[in-house]
Amino acid sequence: MGKLSLFPEQASTFAPGVDHLTYFLLAVAVFFTVLIFCSIFYLAIRYRRRSDRELPRVQHGGMALEIVWSVIPFGITMVMFTWGASVFFNESRPPDNAMPLYVVAKQWMWKIEHMEGQREINELHIPLGRAVRLTMASEDVIHSFYVPAFRVKQDVVPGKYSTIWFQPTKPGKYHLFCAEFCGTRHSGMIGWVYVMEPQDYQRWLSGGSPEGTLSESGEKLFTSLACSNCHKADGTGRCPSLEGLFGKTVQLANGAKVVADEAYIRESILHPAAKIVAGYQPVMPTFQGLVTEDGVLQLIEYIKSLGPKPVVGGGGALGKEGETPKSK
């Protein structure tokens, strides 16, 4: 049996915020629970039946009282709502300079890909004090990425990307759980998040990535799938050039506009006919079944590396070589 504690460790910038909210909720809950329990005890004993013929006076409800005990709880709940919503809203929007990582969930493992090419299974190494943004995909059923010590959780739904971010504040080893039931070995879909001092992380990174950076893998895949036959860099191919595409607004054939984000690129690889760029024919075949979710992520990373903006802003001292946009 391990040691028992009543509060989980606080290891991310979110954790204190969530815990403060918890203290508030707890205080309200304890106050009302004690109030109701004590009232019942007191009233039940004070007014216990002493004779079988007893008949209490009829009391007519008090409008004022009803209003008081509707309005006060309502006010308190609105505080809860606002507080909870603001915590949530922060959790929803990763900062621009967050370090991107990719996660592919499948029955029953977490596959993590670093920009520099490192791959891990059921382990995630991240540097202390750096905001991390995970873009997650599932190959089969719904999973949920959950790190209790960070107080974050996000479902990973097949067919689309979901995002989670956090900024670790304490070095150590923390549980990673799958929180959405995903089949027989659901409880085996667990792992560890290692938060490392930046220099340790640097050392870990340089420990070797046999297959090159993520965007290099993407480039290899891009070539081997013959994407480059049509998507020519100078725009002379049958398909639009992908140079400088990522993050731009694309004009579609049906008149709509769409921002070229991860979801758009993923859709264009798997369902190319869904959104046709203005001025081009729907000639691209689908790559569904030909590329895995990992492969799609590598391709996206490659397309990102084609610019226009650097993949990671505010780079700092970390992982420079992987993040420098390729110039071709």
Least distance in Å: CB of 97 to another protein? Answer: 15
Question: Beta strand pairing status for 257-259 and 249-251?
Answer: antiparallel
Least distance in angstroms from the C-beta of 49 to another protein: 5
CB nearer another protein, residue 139 or residue 200:
139
Q: For residue 145, what are the β-bridge partners? A: 154, 178
For residue 236, what are its two tokens?
Answer: 């002379």
CB of 171 to another protein, least distance (A): 19
144 touches 110 (CB < 8 A): no
Identity of the residue, 16 or 235, whose beta carbon is nearer to another protein in the bound complex = 16
User: Is 183 or 308 the residue whose CB approaches another protein more closely?
Assistant: 183
3-class state of residue 42 by DSSP: helix
Rounded least distance, CB 100 to another protein, Å: 12
CA-based nearest residue to 207, from 271, 133, 130, 125: 125
Burial of 65 (0-12, 13-18, 19+ CB in 10 A): exposed
Kindly tell me which of 124 and 205 has the beta carbon lying closer to another protein.
124
Q: Which is nearer to another protein, 56 or 279 (CB)?
A: 56
Q: Are 130 and 228 in contact (CB under 8 A)?
A: no
Among candidate residues 307, 124, 285, the one with its CA nearest the CA of residue 215: 307
What is the pairing mode between strands 257-259 and 172-178? unpaired
Taking the least distance from each CB to another protein, the nearer of 109 and 142 is: 142
CB of 131 to another protein, least distance (A): 13
Closest CB to another protein among 157 and 250? 157
Q: How far is the CB of 193 from another protein (least distance, A)?
A: 12
Structure-block tokens of residue 41: 């005890």
Report the nearest approach of another protein to the CB of residue 237 (Å): 18
- Give one DSSP letter per residue of 211-228, joined into a string: T--HHHHHHHHHHHTTGG
How many other CB atoms sit within 10 Å of the CB of residue 217?
A: 22
The tokens of 176 are what?
Answer: 């990673």
* Residue labelled with tokens 């731009």: 248
